[in-house]
Amino acid sequence: DTEVTQTPKHLVMGMTNKKSLKCEQHMGHRAMYWYKQKAKKPPELMFVYSYEKLSINESVPSRFSPECPNSSLLNLHLHALQPEDSALYLCASSHPSLAGGRSTGELFFGEGSRLTVL
């Protein structure tokens, strides 16, 4: 299984709503990422989890709250978002793996969750 699965594929929410994006991988990767992407722009790194611990927070506003319940799952909790937060949110994973070894550098992206904030 070389898939990173994200749900939901589409999400529309109001500025007062609370919602969550979910990501799952079964490749045994121990690094998982959240990226935000606007149309025709590169993915922007938001968070990195390494061995289930938050390793990087790229100065992301607190209305985005990541969570890594276990080595296969990554969540992004959303609260009080702004219309400018509308974007494609991509989850990714990479080596090293549960079996150890070294990072190859390659990122495996999910299909993304397209978020629209009204």
**Residues in contact with other proteins by the rule CB under 8 A:** 31, 33, 40-43, 45, 48, 50, 55-56, 90, 94-96, 102-107, 109-112, 114
By beta-carbon proximity to other proteins, the closer residue of 28 and 96 is 96
Specify the residue, 14 or 58, whose C-beta has the smaller distance to other proteins.
58
Residue with tokens 């994973």: 93
- The CA-based angle 1-72-108, given to 5 degrees, is 55
Minimum distance between the CB of residue 113 and other proteins, rounded to whole angstroms? 11
> Closest CB to other proteins among 16 and 99?
99
Cα gap 67→44, rounded to integer Å = 18
Q: How far apart are CA 73 and CA 78, in angstroms?
A: 16
CA atoms within a 13 Å half-sphere pointing along the CA-CB vector of 106: 6
Question: In whole angstroms, how close is the CB of 14 to other proteins at the nearest point?
Answer: 23
Of the pair 80, 107, the CB lying nearest other proteins is at: 107
